[in-house]
A = this chain, B = another copy of it.
Amino acid sequence: MGELTGADVAKHNSKDSCWVIVHGKAYDVTEFLPEHPGGQKIILKYAGKDATEEFEPIHPPDTLDKYLDASKHLGPVNMSTVESEEKVIDPEEAARQERIKNMPPLAACYNLLDFESVARQVMKKTSWAYYSSGADDEITMRENHNAFHKIWFRPRVLVDVEKVDFSTTMLGTKVSAPFYVTATALGKLGHPEGEVIFTRAARRHDVIQMIPTLASCSFDELVDAREGDQVQWLQLYVNKDRAITERIVRHAEARGCKGLFITVDAPQLGRREKDMRSKFADVGSSVQATGGDSVDRSQGAARAISSFIDPALSWKDIPWFRSITTMPIILKGVQRVDDVLRAVEAGVQGVVLSNHGGRQLDFAPSAIEVLAEVMPALRERGWQDRLEVYVDGGVRRATDIIKALCLGAKGVGIGRPFLYAMSAYGVDGVDRAMQLLKDEMEMGMRLIGATSIADLDPSLVDTRGLLAGHSAPVPSDSLGMHTYDPLQVPSFKAKL
């Protein structure tokens, strides 16, 4: 079969016959259209054309091989014959390129939030929207960090803190610091190399990377990038087809993964309106919604990747997981005390208290708040050593990590901050982000009067702020606020 030409492909530009080019090869996706998790519309936009640029960041390289029957692989296209899309010069994109040119130097980032503020300016809007969005009103998403503000320290003084050691172990692995890179999807939206960057940074800092099911890089790429005795875990979305799931799990174990983190808080992927609105602006804005079919099906990147998750997953499945792997099993996304107790009874090795970064159910509690309820319940039963408890969500400062450890967490997962560091500055950004956290850890340990992780206990924190639940003050008095004439500082004689 000879090479196809651009013109050959261009003929198949409709619902009835839809071909697309990806990485120089043509594919017939006509029959696949209705099954596409991201909706037909986005594919049809590229019908008869080269879709590589759009395809790339949200699909691992082995996607087409895995999910599209070989008969639909139409072979290479002579790319010189493909008419290159005349790119409209988008003023917003031009402004973004200008901002990239003027980016602050990496050394001007002094904390994890700094990376986020830079990333917000230099990332593509749709990518930013995907990473930064949360469920509904994003109240849980923001509460995740906010909740740490309700916990204050009770620092000890006159402790010899010349030597401070904050290394610890997680599921038996010795790590240099009590945090790990948690699983986040679609890394290539932020950086062309994707999650492999985390593999490298985790190696440099001797911390664990959790490999996401929905990585932009393929699982094997990420494992191949491992060096020495570096440890990785696998985050798992459980597929309806348990055979697929079993294959994934066994493969991960075979390739050396040291922990299986089963996501239990995502029977369905959350609605994230910031993401949906951004996507809509991109694809849908020219389409006037009219008449009966007014519902737009392209609901942002978050929804596009959600079809492979089984909503029927339940406690009944746990024994089966134990039967197919010897990796420690950890339930990721537990959110209430009795589910933690049940996890102990189910014999798993750990839980991650998490609300999925505030991306699933708005008004789900923050992990740190749940932790403060969980640990006393475990201690009461003498069960505190029967499983390891992790938390993720909202961690931005080493003080957050120290608070979690004081309350009994074994470690904390960090996701978005590393995504932002990567999106803005690549591997050096993630490297610096980790280093900043470690600098803060050392400082925080010293100032709280602790020389090792073992010193961190509940007596060092004041958690009364969590006990009263969630407050929302009386709405403000518009007229009064407007009418009140606030005090002024002394005025300079001329305008400042």
A residues contacting B by CB (< 8 A) are 98-99, 102-111, 113-114, 116-118, 120-121, 128, 132, 136-139, 142-143, 145-147, 149-162, 264-265, 267-268, 270-271, 273-274, 276-277, 280, 284-285, 287-289, 291, 294-296, 310-318, 331, 333-336, 339, 360-365, 396-397, 399, 403, 428, 432, 435, 439-440, 442-444, 446-448, 462-475, 477-480, 482-494, 496
**Could you say which residues of chain B place their CB within 8 Å of the CB of A396?**
480
**Could you say which residues of chain B place their CB within 8 Å of the CB of A313?**
158, 160
A490:B114 contact, CB within 8 angstroms = yes
Nearest Cβ on chain B to A405's Cβ, whole angstroms: 14
B277:A108 contact, CB within 8 angstroms = yes
Contact with A109, one of B114, B291, B365, B490 (Cβ below 8 angstroms)? B490
The 4 A-B residue pairs whose C-beta atoms are closest, nearest first, are: A464-B469, A117-B489, A104-B490, A142-B475
Given A107-B280, A110-B277, A471-B471 contact (CB < 8 Å): yes
A462:B470 contact, CB within 8 angstroms = yes
B465:A147 contact, CB within 8 angstroms = no
Nearest Cβ on chain B to A421's Cβ, whole angstroms: 12
A314:B108 contact, CB within 8 angstroms = no
A447:B137 contact, CB within 8 angstroms = no
A156:B120 contact, CB within 8 angstroms = no
**Could you say which residues of chain B place their CB within 8 Å of the CB of A310?**
162
Count this chain's copies in the assembly.
4
**Could you say which residues of chain B place their CB within 8 Å of the CB of A296?**
107
**Could you say which residues of chain B place their CB within 8 Å of the CB of A271?**
110, 439-440, 443
Contact with A294, one of B143, B145, B294, B432 (Cβ below 8 angstroms)? B432
Contact with A493, one of B102, B136, B287 (Cβ below 8 angstroms)? B102
A294:B106 contact, CB within 8 angstroms = yes
14 further A-B contacts with Cβ under 8 Å, apart from A154-B336, A468-B468, are A99-B496, A105-B289, A107-B284, A108-B491, A113-B479, A117-B482, A137-B477, A154-B335, A160-B314, A268-B443, A396-B480, A464-B470, A465-B471, A478-B487
Considering the chains assembled together, what is the distance between the CA atoms of A362 and B108 in angstroms?
Answer: 21
Report the nearest B residue to A115, measured CB to CB. Answer: B490
B363:A151 contact, CB within 8 angstroms = yes
**Could you say which residues of chain B place their CB within 8 Å of the CB of A482?**
117, 486, 488-489
Report the nearest B residue to A121, measured CB to CB. Answer: B496
Can you report 14 A-B residue pairs in the complex whose CB atoms are below 8 A from each other? A120-B483, A138-B487, A142-B484, A147-B472, A157-B265, A158-B264, A158-B331, A162-B310, A267-B446, A274-B485, A364-B447, A464-B469, A467-B469, A482-B489
**Could you say which residues of chain B place their CB within 8 Å of the CB of A442?**
268
A479:B447 contact, CB within 8 angstroms = no
Considering the chains assembled together, what is the distance between the CA atoms of A106 and B284 in angstroms?
Answer: 12
**Could you say which residues of chain B place their CB within 8 Å of the CB of A360?**
447
A311:B110 contact, CB within 8 angstroms = no
B111:A273 contact, CB within 8 angstroms = yes
Report the nearest B residue to A477, measured CB to CB. Answer: B137
**Could you say which residues of chain B place their CB within 8 Å of the CB of A98?**
494
Contact with A153, one of B145, B339, B365, B448 (Cβ below 8 angstroms)? B365
Given A277-B108, A311-B446, A155-B102 contact (CB < 8 Å): no
Considering the chains assembled together, what is the distance between the CA atoms of A312 and B451 in angstroms?
Answer: 11
B399:A102 contact, CB within 8 angstroms = no
Given A117-B483, A360-B447, A478-B137, A107-B289 contact (CB < 8 Å): yes
Contact with A331, one of B106, B113, B157, B446 (Cβ below 8 angstroms)? B157
Q: Which of A110, A145, A312, A442 has the most CB of B within 10 A?
A: A110
**Could you say which residues of chain B place their CB within 8 Å of the CB of A463?**
469
